[in-house]
Amino acid sequence: MAALTERKGLKVPVSGDISSLVPYPPGKPIEELERELGIKGSIKLASNENPLGPSSKAVEAIAGALNNLHRYPDGSCFYLKEKLAGRLGVSSGEIILGNGSNEIIELLIRAYLRRGDEAVMADPSFAVYPIVVKSVGATAVTVPLREMRHDLREMSRAVNKNTRVVFIANPNNPTGTIITSREFEEFMGSVPEECIVCVDEAYFEFVRSKEYPGTLEYVKAGRPVVLLRTFSKVYGLAGLRIGYGVAHPELVDYMNRVRQPFNVNSLAQAAAMAALDDSDHLKRTVENNREGLVYLYGEIAALGFKYVPTEANFFLVKVGDGKKVYEDLLKKGVIVRPMAGYNMPEYIRVSVGLPEENRRFIEALADVARPR
């Protein structure tokens, strides 16, 4: 048998749709940085995770579910759907659970897009949308942000008879900005009935603006809207992979047809049920974020850097050479996200951490970067 290093390329054909894809670059894990640099005590402010950790109620629920790991999970997520449906004022048939909300993006695209179809999205926005769209041979039509916000009028103009889905991340990742209810209403008045609008509210619980749209009402009104939420952010369960979609039962039905039977594992289901009941943990998380942003905005401004005000648990800081600042911060054990891959080379994206993590980031930034 030839050694791995001697292996030649295969003769197996792969479609250009797949060979041209660039994999999603995740935030650098702490363990990877520490392995590379031989250091300890690093902090990660790179993936918009919950710095408080998971809810202790969720952890208890996981412990309670461990002895049943020999059983397949409930493929229909019956109890969790019931609970979410009760909270949201919809029926269980309007809810779909996914292995992270990422999976629901995939189910939506697999159910509704084929070659020749188009999906409209902002640029930059959540990097997973174009990857999933291109993977089925469909076209990702991107519309540049305008002053860091979705340009919904231009996105509406980009919709044509081939458009099956429009993605709106609200708040947007990586900018943290939102669209307003007025803008959304106008947009919804312009999209054809045959087009699905996927509103990704991964950071919904952090939003404070009164202008934030009530997207759920559009689902309840029977519009073809897929509303995405997740347990990865405010609920602190990113490692378990669980998120949900709320949509018209017909959309849910077709997405269910392309779903793996046991896509959400039993520990994730148990933890999500418990996390929904831990309102204290949610409150503390939102409060930590609010206070963290007050501190970070003040310090960043005092250092002379510009930043983009956010409605989420992360924000953009304009640092000049984003890649260099990212690398220099790594050497100090601080992981943030460089933005060159999002066509924003002057920026880094920083997640709000615990107070001591925020302080550590500010001290490191002051050491490695100078405002221009």
Ligand X SMILES: Cc1ncc(COP(=O)(O)O)c(C=O)c1O
> Is 48 an interacting residue with respect to ligand X (CB under 6 A)?
yes
Whole-angstrom CA distances from 109 to 16, 104, 138, 166, 208 are 18, 8, 9, 11, 30
**Which one of residues 101, 163, 289, 351 is an interface residue with ligand X (CB under 6 A)?**
101
Which one, 92 or 230, has the nearer CB to ligand X? 230
CB proximity list for 58: less than 8 A, separation 6 or greater = 235, 236, 237, 271, 272, 274, 275, 278
> Is 289 an interacting residue with respect to ligand X (CB under 6 A)?
no
Q: Which part of the chain contacts ligand X (CB under 6 A), choosing from 98-106, 135-143, 264-272, 345-353?
A: 98-106
Strand extents, DSSP E, 103-257: 118-123, 139-144, 163-169, 196-200, 225-230, 243-246
- Is residue 72 a contact partner of residue 80, using CB atoms and an 8 Å limit? no
What number of chain residues touch ligand X (CB under 6 A)? 13
CB-closest chain residue to ligand X: 100
Q: What is the CA radius of gyration of the chain?
A: 21
Which one, 224 or 243, has the nearer CB to ligand X? 243
Whole-angstrom CA distances from 208 to 41, 213, 310 are 33, 11, 10
Q: Is the dihedral of CA 311, 86, 242, 22 positive or negative?
A: negative
> Is 126 an interacting residue with respect to ligand X (CB under 6 A)?
yes
Q: Which part of the chain contacts ligand X (CB under 6 A), choosing from 95-103, 159-167, 257-265, 283-291?
A: 95-103
- Is residue 323 a contact partner of residue 345, using CB atoms and an 8 Å limit? yes
- Is residue 276 a contact partner of residue 142, using CB atoms and an 8 Å limit? no
Amino acid, single-letter form, for residue 36: E
Q: Is beta strand 243-246 parallel, antiparallel or unpaired with respect to 95-98? A: antiparallel
Distance of closest approach, residue 304 Cβ to ligand X, in angstroms = 29
**Which one of residues 202, 271, 272, 369 is an interface residue with ligand X (CB under 6 A)?**
202
Q: Is beta strand 225-230 parallel, antiparallel or unpaired with respect to 196-200? A: parallel
Residue numbers 296-355 binding ligand X by CB under 6 A: none
Residue numbers 227-256 binding ligand X by CB under 6 A: 230, 232, 238, 243
Q: Which part of the chain contacts ligand X (CB under 6 A), choosing from 96-104, 160-168, 180-188, 286-294?
A: 96-104
CB proximity list for 65: less than 8 A, separation 6 or greater = 266, 267, 270
Which one, 187 or 206, has the nearer CB to ligand X? 206
> Is 169 an interacting residue with respect to ligand X (CB under 6 A)?
yes
Which one, 103 or 278, has the nearer CB to ligand X? 103
**Which one of residues 200, 205, 278, 311 is an interface residue with ligand X (CB under 6 A)?**
200
**Which one of residues 42, 173, 175, 266 is an interface residue with ligand X (CB under 6 A)?**
173
What is the contact surface with ligand X in residues (CB under 6 A)? 48, 100-102, 126, 169, 173, 200, 202, 230, 232, 238, 243
